[in-house]
């Protein structure tokens, strides 16, 4: 498919980008508000065009373990879900991280806890960047704030996943998954040939030829001294990501006295709040986080030296703010403004919070 401009839902963009980016397999389980990902794939029938495998699993437990099995053969395998389903996948995610298997997972967050609501939320930040599953591990976590980014980040996710042999989490929410926007599609990247697969994944379980010893995919190491060495290797990989792979967008931050810090849907709202503030003569900027892990610590520390205060806007009770405060070393006033349980704040109330809590 050639490049074109189309109107589509965020979830649809994820599905179309998977096909276009040469994804080999998708395994999923329906859950609102992201079921359009699998629905789009099933309607598109990519197995007849690119050869991509699409399968509806019996549960999120099964789908994440199908990702494990398929991705461990060195193929590009992805899944998607929403908060309660992602909770079920945490076991699989820590195994994927522990076995260093590249793969892509999309979470269209909805309000919790428990079954919660099917409306958008951003209350899985802790789960996404602080572990979620057991053990010391990190998922490369990238947060789109538009349908276009939903599409583009799938391509970026494959690059990162295979560069670092690490799972990549595209962390979005029900609003971006469900909203329709224009989106530029890209030329198809063909799925890897057998030779390319072996070249990109020499560690993969694709059948042991006589020329190499057998490849083993496992996260088990009963000898603690070797497990510690392995964990040190993982940590070194995470430090390298922190050094090289931080992404963010600084809007009107050069002359700003005050800034919003936000990602995803909240960042979109803050863009409007910032416009309203500027119209009132308030020098307000926005630091839009794109990667949540690695977190833009240095950039926040630098900004904290220049501005008088920051307002963290999240559709949660206040999760990302902890990392912002740590990065800024609490050197300036930093407050949280959030709505949750599926409520999306208005630009006006966000600006009001900035004026009340930070500008005063």
Q: Among 10, 64, 62, 66, which Cα is nearest to 35's?
A: 10
Q: From residue 82 to residue 111, what is the string marking binding to another protein with x (rule CB under 8 A)?
A: ---------xx--x---x------------
Window of 60-68, 121-129, 227-235, 318-326 that interacts with another protein by CB under 8 A: 60-68
Q: With respect to another protein, which residue has the nearer C-beta, 58 or 255?
A: 58
Angle between helix axes 147-164 and 10-20 (nearest 10 degrees) is 40
Q: How far is the CB of 149 from another protein (least distance, A)?
A: 28
CA distance 248 to 224: 38
Rounded Cα–Cα distance for residues 262 and 313 (Å): 5
Per DSSP, the three-state class of 81 is strand
Q: Min. distance of Cβ 219 from another protein in angstroms?
A: 7
Binders of another protein in range 217-276 (CB under 8 A): 217-220
* Binding segment (CB under 8 A) for another protein, from list 71-79, 109-117, 227-235, 295-303: 71-79
Sheet bearing 103-109, strands edge to edge:
53-56, 25-28, 77-81, 103-109, 167-173, 140-142, 291-293
CB 165 within 8 A of CB 28: no
Per CB under 8 A, the list member of 3, 214, 305, 360 interacting with another protein is 214
Q: Is residue 190 part of the contact set for another protein (CB under 8 A)?
A: no
> Least distance to another protein from the beta carbon of 202, Å?
12
> Which position has the token pair 């990065």?
327
- Phi, psi angles (nearest 5°) of residue 260: -85, 145
Q: By CB under 8 A, which span of 59-67, 123-131, 150-158, 317-325 interacts with another protein? A: 59-67
**Which x/- pattern, by CB under 8 A, does the window 140-169 give for another protein?**
------------------------------
Least Cβ distance, residue 15 to another protein (angstroms): 18
- What residues from 18 to 57 belong to the interface with another protein (CB under 8 A)? 24-25, 27, 53, 55, 57
Is position 205 an interface residue for another protein (rule: CB under 8 A)? yes
Burial of 208 (0-12, 13-18, 19+ CB in 10 A): exposed
Q: Is the CB of 61 or the CB of 282 nearer to another protein?
A: 61
Q: How far is CA 76 from CA 68, 112, 128, 155, 163, in A?
A: 11, 30, 21, 11, 13
State yes or no: residue 206 binds another protein (CB under 8 A): yes
Single residue of 32, 148, 215, 231 touching another protein by CB under 8 A:
215
Binds another protein by CB under 8 A, chosen from 207, 254, 255, 360: 207
Q: How far apart are CA 323 and CA 314, in angstroms?
A: 13
* Alpha-carbon dihedral sign for residues 350, 352, 355, 358: negative
Instruction: Point out which span in 2-10, 164-172, 212-220, 256-264 binds another protein (CB under 8 A).
Output: 212-220
The two tokens of residue 42 are: 């099933």
CB 34, CB 171: distance < 8 Å = no
Give all strands (DSSP E) within 61-161, no chain letters: 77-81, 103-109, 140-142
Residues in contact with another protein, counted by CB under 8 A, come to a total of: 40
- Contacts with another protein by CB under 8 A lie at 24-25, 27, 53, 55, 57-59, 61-63, 65-70, 72-73, 75, 77, 91-92, 95, 99, 204-210, 213-220
């Amino acid at each position: 498919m050639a490049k074109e401009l189309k109107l589509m839902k965020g979830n649809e963009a994820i599905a179309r980008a998977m096909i276009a980016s040469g994804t080999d397999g998708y395994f999923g389980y329906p859950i609102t508000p992201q079921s359009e990902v699998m629905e789009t794939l099933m309607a598109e029938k990519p197995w007849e065009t690119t050869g991509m495998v699409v399968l509806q699993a019996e549960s999120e437990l099964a789908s994440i373990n199908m990702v494990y099995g398929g991705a461990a053969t060195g193929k590009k395998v992805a899944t998607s879900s929403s908060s309660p389903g992602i909770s079920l996948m945490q076991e699989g995610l820590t195994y994927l991280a522990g076995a260093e298997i590249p793969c892509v997972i999309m979470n269209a967050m909805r309000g919790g806890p428990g079954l919660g609501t099917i409306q958008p939320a951003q209350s899985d930040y802790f789960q996404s960047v602080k572990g979620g599953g057991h053990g010391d591990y990190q998922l490369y976590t990238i947060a789109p704030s538009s349908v276009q980014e939903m599409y583009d980040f799938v391509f970026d996710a494959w690059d990162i996943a295979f560069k670092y042999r690490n799972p990549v989490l595209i962390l979005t929410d029900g609003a971006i998954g469900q909203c329709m926007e224009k989106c530029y599609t890209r030329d198809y990247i063909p799925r890897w040939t057998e030779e390319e697969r072996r070249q990109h994944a020499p560690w993969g379980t694709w059948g042991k030829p006589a020329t190499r010893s057998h490849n083993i995919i496992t996260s088990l190491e009963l000898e603690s001294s070797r497990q510690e060495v392995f964990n040190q290797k993982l940590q070194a990989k995470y430090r390298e990501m922190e050094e090289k792979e931080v992404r963010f967008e600084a809007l009107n931050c050069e002359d700003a006295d005050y800034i919003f810090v936000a990602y995803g849907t909240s960042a979109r709202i803050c863009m409007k709040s910032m416009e309203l503030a500027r119209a009132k003569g308030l020098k307000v900027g926005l630091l839009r986080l794109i990667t949540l892990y690695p977190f833009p610590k240095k950039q926040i520390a630098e900004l904290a030296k220049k501005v008088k205060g920051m307002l963290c806007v999240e559709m949660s009770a206040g999760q990302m703010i902890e990392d912002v405060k740590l990065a800024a070393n609490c050197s300036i006033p930093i407050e949280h403004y959030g709505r949750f349980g599926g409520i999306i704040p208005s630009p006006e109330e966000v600006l009001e919070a900035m004026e009340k809590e930070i500008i005063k």
